Each structure stands twice: as C-alpha cells, then as structure tokens.
Amino acid sequence: MMQTVEPPVTPNPNETPVSQAVAAKPSLKERFKSLMADYGRLAIWVYFTIFFATWAGFALAIHLGFQVEGAGGTTGTIAGGYVAAKVTQPVRIFATLGLTPPLERVLRALPKIHRFFTGRSQS
C-alpha cells in the first residue's frame, strides 16, 4: 500500500522563531547616536560644517533673491537661512552618516589633522 505524502509546510510569518527574525533597521536617531559614539568629535565637526555651510548657502540665496537692505533685512536673511537649514536636517544627518567614516579613513593618513579632529591618536 502507498503512504500519503503531505505537501511541504511553509511557516506562517507570525510563527517564525525569534532567532530567524530579521532585526529591524535602526532609526535615523539611533544611527546618528551610534555614529557619534564611534567617531565622536569628527562626527560633530562634519555635522556642524554641513550645518553652517547650508545655513550660509540659504542665507546667501535668500539675500541674492531678495534685495534686502538694512540691519533688519540682514537679520531676516540670516533667520530665513536658519529656518531653511533646519528644514534640511534629515538630509544633513544622512550626509553626516555617509561622509564621516570615509573622511576618518582619509584623515588617518594625516596624523596631526586626524588628532585635531578626533581628539585621539591613531591606533
């Protein structure tokens, strides 16, 4: 007599063992905190360099786009540039996440500059 053959059973995703579950991708905030822990001062330098360059770029663009005059106009230009720079914060964080590790590798070839930006000697 022939035996009955059962079809292969595909596990339900809700029944997948925890050891096989894929870890969730860390949030942007968690990734940024990890970057700060790994690269410290260099990550701060990169972040603020991007921030101030973005702020200055937006302020310049606003100034060139609108013929602003007087101290009040300059304050409005700077404040407008700041607001525009804050809007781009997620993009700047991604740029910091992407630029810091390769920059650190480049700076390793320049020990004095590496020490200045990272606050530590090469290991």
State whether the Cα torsion 89-93-94-96 is positive or negative: positive
Instruction: List alpha helices for the chain, DSSP H.
Output: 28-39, 41-65, 70-87, 89-107, 111-118
Highest mean pLDDT among 12-16, 61-65, 107-111: 107-111
Q: Would the pLDDT of 123 be above 60?
A: no
The ranges assigned to domains in the chain are 36-118
* Backbone φ and ψ of 64, nearest 5°: -75, -30
Closest CA to 74 of 82, 63, 64: 63
Q: Whole-number mean pLDDT of the chain?
A: 80
- Render pLDDT for 36-92 as a digit per residue (tens, 0 to 9): 888 888 999 999 999 999 999 888 888 887 544 554 556 677 888 888 888 899 999
As a whole number of angstroms, the longest Cα–Cα distance in the chain is 100
C-alpha–C-alpha distance, residues 38 and 35, integer Å:
5
Task: Say yes or no to pLDDT of 11 above 70.
Answer: no
Q: In terms of pLDDT, which residue wins out, 15 or 103?
A: 103
